[in-house]
Chain A
Amino acid sequence: MNDPVKASRTKKVSFGDIYSKYGVMLILVVIFIAASFLSGNFLTQANLTNVLRQIVVITIVGFGGTFILISAQINIAYDALLAAIGCLACITVVKTQNVFLAVGVGILIGACIGWIYGFLVTFFNIPAFIVGLAINTIARGAILMITGGRNVSKLGNFSVIGQGYIGPVPIPVIIMFVLLAVCWVILNKTCFGRHVFAVGGNPGAAEASGINVKSVIRRVYVLDGVLTAVAAIIFMSRLASGQPSAGDGYAFDAITAAVVGGASISGGSGNVIGTIIGAAIVGVINNLMNLMNVHSYWQQIVKGVIILLAVIIDVQTKKATSKAKKD
């Protein structure tokens, strides 16, 4: 009886719809064009390759962060986890001279830490935010203790992962795009991906549909831990040394990338392609500010404003769509 009304409603495209589909891409294009006008050095091949290499770690951590945000969770421990997992992989290399073993150990440790994170959240019902604070401090303290606060050096072939090239393309960039494909498939083409959206979108309905909500959340944290480990290995390998006090600011940049890319802070929506674009936006702005010699204090202020804007847009578009529904 009210079919025509409904049909016209679905055809009407709102700002929220446009933004959620193409918004981040448009913002990236605009910033990209602006950057090439503002700095003569921006559009050189060397600089663009540099930007790509710089965003690799943020992007890969951001992929994990995207899964975490979609399932309505949060991980704020990336700073110290990058340092801890990266250094443990470096120590393995120094002890065994086996790069493959080091990568394996790093990933395994990442998965274990992820599982513990998820276990603390689901078993004891501790807010994820608090677990993140605690794990960040514990991981930082532990790795400083293990390394005695000194950098781990003499990594041999290990640095190929972060510094090598295949043809003209840096290896980390290749890894990033491979992981993009893997994460996209997991999120959009597997049962697990569906369950992640369901758990974040409405845990009650997910439970009532036979989904083990807590198990899904734990597996999301394990995946997040694995991705963090890969990022950590690339990070330390690029520096050619294990640095126990490195990693500051990465949690912030990764979560910003995911949120700018459309992951909702209240769960239930997000996508990894958006995250890589979000990371590119963050990367281009960082790069531009460096090229223009903007003071690092100012850089921090700008980054803080960016995440606030992204969250405000997320909340406002949500409000707009829910209002449209009521009309």
Chain B
Amino acid sequence: MSANHQEYVLEMHNIVKVFPGVRALDGMNLQVRPGTVHVIAGENGAGKSTLMKVINGQYAAEEGEIIYKGKVLEKRTIQQTIQLGISMIQQELNPIRQMTVAENIYIGREPQSLKGFVDYKKMYADTQELLDKLEIPFRSEEKLEKLSIAAFQQIEIAKAISRDASVIIMDEPTSAIADTEIEILFKQITSLKKQGVAIIFITHKMDEIFRIADDITIIRDGRWISTGPISEYDQDKVISLMVGRTITNIFPKIDVPIGDVVLEVKNLKQYGRFRDISFEVRKGEILGFSGLIGAGRSEVMRAVFGLDSYHEGEIYLHGKRVEIHNTKDAISHGIAMALEDRRAEGIIPDRSTRENITLANIRSFARKVLINSKKEKKEVQRMIDLLRIKVTTPEQLIKNLSGGNQQKVILAKWLLGNLDVLILDEPTRGIDVGSKSEIHSLMCEFAKQGLAIIMISSEMPELLEMSDRIVVMREGTIRGELQRNEASQEAIMKLAT
């Protein structure tokens, strides 16, 4: 090992990658030794995936140099990068399920006996040899539709090895597989190391970092923060390096007297997604939900809102048990949710701002069957003024509004009804700073008027500044609860990872 120490298989110096308006990578450095696992750790949005895409050729960096096996890498395609020996295993694997293991491994470069004809005999024999060598327990003729995501990963690894990869990038490979499968993956990684392959391993799970890493690079806000052998770090050090940033003041939190319990959830369970979920939220309270992506926060709230079903557990409103089977039930009980993906589940893009605002409550404007448009227009104007939605006219199509104004329209949609509980999933994601602070102050106003608010957020400062209480989830369960005065980035990360 120590002999390899000076010799890096992959080096990156002062990489800068600019997107319109942001410096996604700003002076990034990385040195990867052959035969080691190099963990890249950072929060959501720190620039991990951008960095990986610069390595695999999807993006070209504006500044800096990448040196691979002693040679400077120029602009290249993903295909060319793979041929050079750098393969990436994506977080979301998308193999062709109707094909066999061998067909997937050799797709696009099938061995040919006669030009244009696939030499199946050679393809299956070569694949079997490869699988045996890597101790992957599948047959080359097996179809993928019967196999699991963990198996797809193994096949991706085999594919990378069949292309003589020297560097394999794994983007959060453990996020979608079970604990036992993680053991198999780690064993695989150990044997790859012995063959001299370098693994770049992206994760933010603490236990994994300390189990698998030889070296670690910590990045934050697109910048390189720290690099070294894992033995020089402990958990607290990694966390504080990951999150230590200054918080700007876009959080006009006001203190509101907190009242009785409005919504209580007891032992909610959805097979394979979350279990033992119990929490309560009170009148005037903003309850933050924290956790890594995939921890199950959105899934829990979607079930409470009736979008997805749950298998066990109870939901109480004002102390009375309620059954929620669909969104209509939830809304009739005064529960509303603004979903994470505004484009997919928030707005009807080709309709007017007015119609989007009244979408959920259009019945309340109807006399018998016909809509009273005078009343509708009046109420819409009232909401536009109240939430300070910037439109030229209420008839403006919602798709032409900015993200912040679209989000305000969604809030207006819910405020039109009789609301007790408002669930917000990433309420300010992708929204500019000005609108962000406006939405935060609206949240405080709603709380003041007696609404109970649940806010899922992946932004630490938002969680810490806006929440009265924070529930932390991990892997489908609630790991702890922090009062406003005991919450800190470190405390949350400790529970979440």
Partner of B400, one of A2, A192, A325: A325
**B187 interface contact, C-beta 8 A:** no
Structural contact, A210 and B366, CB atoms closer than 8 A = no
- How many angstroms between the C-alpha atoms of A212 and B400 in the bound complex? 27
**A204 interface contact, C-beta 8 A:** yes
Partner of B327, one of A194, A201, A208: A208
Structural contact, B399 and A325, CB atoms closer than 8 A = yes
Neighbouring B residues of A192 by C-beta, 8 Å: 369
Known: A194-B355, A194-B359, A325-B400. A208 touches B369 (CB 8 A): no
Structural contact, A10 and B396, CB atoms closer than 8 A = yes
Known: A191-B369, A194-B362. A202 touches B339 (CB 8 A): no
**B331 interface contact, C-beta 8 A:** yes
| 8 tightest Cβ-Cβ pairs between the two chains A and B | A204-B345, A201-B348, A210-B331, A209-B360, A210-B328, A210-B327, A209-B359, A191-B362
Neighbouring B residues of A205 by C-beta, 8 Å: 344-348, 359
- How many angstroms between the C-alpha atoms of A10 and B348 in the bound complex? 18
Q: How far is the CB of B15 from chain A (nearest CB, A)?
A: 28
15 contacts between A and B (CB under 8 A): A1-B434, A6-B390, A7-B392, A10-B396, A194-B358, A198-B351, A201-B351, A204-B345, A205-B347, A205-B359, A206-B348, A207-B327, A210-B327, A268-B349, A269-B350
Residue among A189, A190, A191, A269 facing the most chain B CB atoms (10 A cut-off): A191
**A185 interface contact, C-beta 8 A:** yes
Structural contact, B400 and A201, CB atoms closer than 8 A = no
**B363 interface contact, C-beta 8 A:** yes
**A9 interface contact, C-beta 8 A:** yes
**B337 interface contact, C-beta 8 A:** yes
- How many angstroms between the C-alpha atoms of A208 and B330 in the bound complex? 10
- How many angstroms between the C-alpha atoms of A234 and B373 in the bound complex? 35
Neighbouring A residues of B358 by C-beta, 8 Å: 194
Structural contact, A197 and B348, CB atoms closer than 8 A = yes
* B:403-427 near A, CB below 8 Å: 413
Neighbouring B residues of A3 by C-beta, 8 Å: 390
Structural contact, B327 and A268, CB atoms closer than 8 A = no
Neighbouring A residues of B190 by C-beta, 8 Å: none
Structural contact, A208 and B337, CB atoms closer than 8 A = yes
Neighbouring A residues of B396 by C-beta, 8 Å: 10
Q: How far is the CB of B421 from chain A (nearest CB, A)?
A: 14
Neighbouring B residues of A2 by C-beta, 8 Å: 402
Q: How many A-B residue pairs have CB under 8 A?
A: 93
Q: How far is the CB of A262 from chain B (nearest CB, A)?
A: 12
**B370 interface contact, C-beta 8 A:** yes
Structural contact, B355 and A208, CB atoms closer than 8 A = no
- How many angstroms between the C-alpha atoms of A76 and B311 in the bound complex? 40
Structural contact, A209 and B413, CB atoms closer than 8 A = yes
Structural contact, A194 and B371, CB atoms closer than 8 A = yes
- How many angstroms between the C-alpha atoms of A44 and B159 in the bound complex? 75
| Contact code string A210-238 (vs B, CB < 8 Å = 1, else 0) | 11100000000000000000000000000
Structural contact, B392 and A10, CB atoms closer than 8 A = yes
Neighbouring A residues of B371 by C-beta, 8 Å: 189-191, 194
Residue among B327, B332, B390 facing the most chain A CB atoms (10 A cut-off): B327
Q: A198-B351, A201-B349, A202-B345 given. 11 additional CB < 8 A pairs?
A: A189-B370, A194-B355, A206-B348, A207-B327, A209-B331, A209-B359, A209-B413, A210-B327, A210-B332, A211-B359, A325-B400
**B73 interface contact, C-beta 8 A:** no
Neighbouring A residues of B331 by C-beta, 8 Å: 209-210
Q: How far is the CB of B436 from chain A (nearest CB, A)?
A: 14
Nearest residue (CB) in B for A197 is: B351
Structural contact, B392 and A6, CB atoms closer than 8 A = yes
Q: How far is the CB of B96 from chain A (nearest CB, A)?
A: 22
Known: A7-B392, A209-B327. A202 touches B348 (CB 8 A): yes
Neighbouring B residues of A197 by C-beta, 8 Å: 348, 351, 355
**B326 interface contact, C-beta 8 A:** yes
Structural contact, A204 and B344, CB atoms closer than 8 A = yes
| Contact code string B311-335 (vs A, CB < 8 Å = 1, else 0) | 0000000000000001110111000
Structural contact, A201 and B326, CB atoms closer than 8 A = no
Neighbouring B residues of A206 by C-beta, 8 Å: 348, 359
Neighbouring A residues of B307 by C-beta, 8 Å: 207-208
Nearest residue (CB) in A for B373 is: A189
Structural contact, B346 and A208, CB atoms closer than 8 A = yes
- How many angstroms between the C-alpha atoms of A195 and B400 in the bound complex? 21
Neighbouring B residues of A9 by C-beta, 8 Å: 400
Q: How far is the CB of B468 from chain A (nearest CB, A)?
A: 26
Neighbouring B residues of A7 by C-beta, 8 Å: 392
Neighbouring B residues of A212 by C-beta, 8 Å: 326, 328
Q: How far is the CB of A97 from chain B (nearest CB, A)?
A: 35
- How many angstroms between the C-alpha atoms of A269 and B369 in the bound complex? 22
- How many angstroms between the C-alpha atoms of A197 and B347 in the bound complex? 12
Partner of A268, one of B326, B348, B359: B348
Q: How far is the CB of B175 from chain A (nearest CB, A)?
A: 23
Residue among A194, A207, A208, A210 facing the most chain B CB atoms (10 A cut-off): A208
Partner of B369, one of A190, A198, A202: A190
